Amino acid sequence: MNSIHPALIGSLSSTASPEKVINFSPGPTSLPEAVEKQIAANFQKPGLTSLALSHRSPEFIAILEHAVNTARKVMAIPDDYEVLFTHGGGHGQFAALPLNLCHEPTDTATYVVNGTWSARGCDEAKRYCNVQTIDAQDTKTGNYLSFPELTEEIIDKESKYVYLCSNETVNGIELHRLPKLPESRKHIPLVVDASSDFSTKPIDWHGCGVGVLFACASKNIGHPGLTITIVRKDLLGKASPLCPGVFNYTTNSEAGNLWNTPATFNIEVVGLVMDWIEREGGVEANEQRSIAKAKMLYDVIDNANGFYATPINDKSLRSRMNVPFNIAGGDLALTEQFLIESWEQGLIGLRTLTPFGVGDYLRASIYNGITLKQVTTLAEFMVKFAQKHR
């Protein structure tokens, strides 16, 4: 008989009472409570549910326009960018990017690899273009602990774009502001995978030369099955003839996000989350909340006299979204005990199935759905656990 504790296989069904459960999953994860309540209330209304709306009905068109417009407003997306809702998640965009921006397979694209997700994006691009890689892997540990300086020497002048992931979910590295390419490379559009940090800080669209920025919905702004892809209009019309229609930015833009049936309900939810951000003070206030939440956990880790450790020493690169930490240098028995005790108190999602690398790292993901109060609960648990087991 297999008697492994549910906490150790990543169960989300804590024995704590439901109202005590706090979901620290790296995504999919909980939405802000107010949004979840609004969705539940919408399903109680008489008449058609959100799932039943024809994508060509005026009712859905209003929902779509609302989602586009509030995203534009909240993230200050300039008019020379299209806001697309795309299929296929982040992985879909890994293929869509080179297929849209490299007309020929001989075209070059530059990939900054500083973690698991940029590595995956880079691998997928290799099918469709000539990839130039800037790899930030730490040769000693095999982990990604830093972000390379983007000098003109390491970026091909002919590159169709420079790609980076602004928050590496697995590795816990975040660019709190997007970098600017050197003067001689400013003609190259920056392409950003912002899947796990979109909506949590302002973006300097023109200043940083953003060409395309995409974010799968299931971390900060919605639930799985939808990606928001923001494309500077001058980059349209360059797709490879091999680009599948569903991935083609140009045709989807021309069709107003209705080239084929979009994920209607998922789009509605993104609109609700954008409304919530706006109500709560906009992206600036959201960033302050993120800073405060992350600081609380990193402070516990840094003040634990080595009982907890996080891999990223450079505080300017520490992720505000995903806080990886290990216990007593990766002690397996203590890690399991931490997982079980926290889970029984309703703190779930801390164990992930994505291997971090060396050590048994746990990870607290603290997206928009998590409040400062909820982070405090985890922080207090961590302090007590350290006191007991140090």
| Contacting a copy of itself within 199-258 (CB under 8 A) | 216, 218, 222-226, 241-242, 244-247
Q: What's the angle, vertex CA 21, arms to CA 289 and CA 29, rounded to 5?
A: 60
Touching a copy of itself, residues 108-147 (CB under 8 A): 124, 127-128
Radius of gyration from C-alpha coordinates of the chain: 21
Cα of 18 vs its chain's centroid, Å: 26
CA dihedral 86, 87, 92, 94 (to 10 degrees): 10
Question: For the chain, first and last CA: distance in Å?
Answer: 33
d(CA 117, CA 1): 37
How many residues bind a copy of itself (CB under 8 A)? The answer is: 75
Q: Which of 59, 104, 138, 204 is the binder for a copy of itself (CB under 8 A)?
A: 59
Touching a copy of itself, residues 88-107 (CB under 8 A): 88-92, 94-96, 99
355 binds a copy of itself (CB under 8 A): no
Examine the residue annotation and report whether 193 is marked as an active-site residue of this protein. Answer: yes
C-beta separation of 91 from 229 below 8 A: no
CB atoms within 10 A of CB 34: 13
Of 141, 144, 184, 143, the closest CA to residue 164 belongs to 144
User: Least CB distance from residue 296 to a copy of itself, whole Å?
Assistant: 22
349 binds a copy of itself (CB under 8 A): yes
**Total residue length of the chain:** 390
Residue 264 annotated as lining a ligand binding site:
no
> With respect to a copy of itself, which residue has the nearer C-beta, 29 or 167?
29
Touching a copy of itself, residues 281-340 (CB under 8 A): none
> With respect to a copy of itself, which residue has the nearer C-beta, 55 or 295?
55
- Amino acid letter for position 308: Y
Near a copy of itself by CB under 8 A, which window of 26-34, 141-149, 178-186, 287-295?
Answer: 26-34
List 160, 201, 205, 219, catalytic entry: 219
User: Least CB distance from residue 305 to a copy of itself, whole Å?
Assistant: 32
DSSP 306-326: TSEE-S---GGGB-SSEEEEE
Examine the residue annotation and report whether 126 is marked as an active-site residue of this protein. Answer: no
Listed in sequence order, the DSSP H helices in the chain are 33-44, 58-74, 89-101, 116-125, 249-254, 264-279, 282-302, 332-344, 372-389
Examine the residue annotation and report whether 123 is marked as an active-site residue of this protein. Answer: no
Q: Which of 1, 2, 3, 46 is the binder for a copy of itself (CB under 8 A)?
A: 46
At 252, phi and psi to the nearest 5? -70, -35
Residue 193 annotated as lining a ligand binding site:
yes
> With respect to a copy of itself, which residue has the nearer C-beta, 126 or 206?
126
Please state whether beta strands 190-193 and 173-174 pair in parallel, antiparallel, or not at all (unpaired).
unpaired
Touching a copy of itself, residues 168-187 (CB under 8 A): none
Task: Draw the binding track, 270-289, toward a copy of itself (x: CB under 8 A; -: no contact).
Answer: --------------------
Residue 260 annotated as lining a ligand binding site:
yes
**DSSP secondary structure code for residue 142 in this structure:** S
d(CA 301, CA 292): 15
Feature table: binding site? 56, 117, 169, 193, 260-261
Feature table: binding site for pyridoxal 5'-phosphate? 117, 169, 193, 260-261
Residues serving a catalytic function are: 117, 193, 219
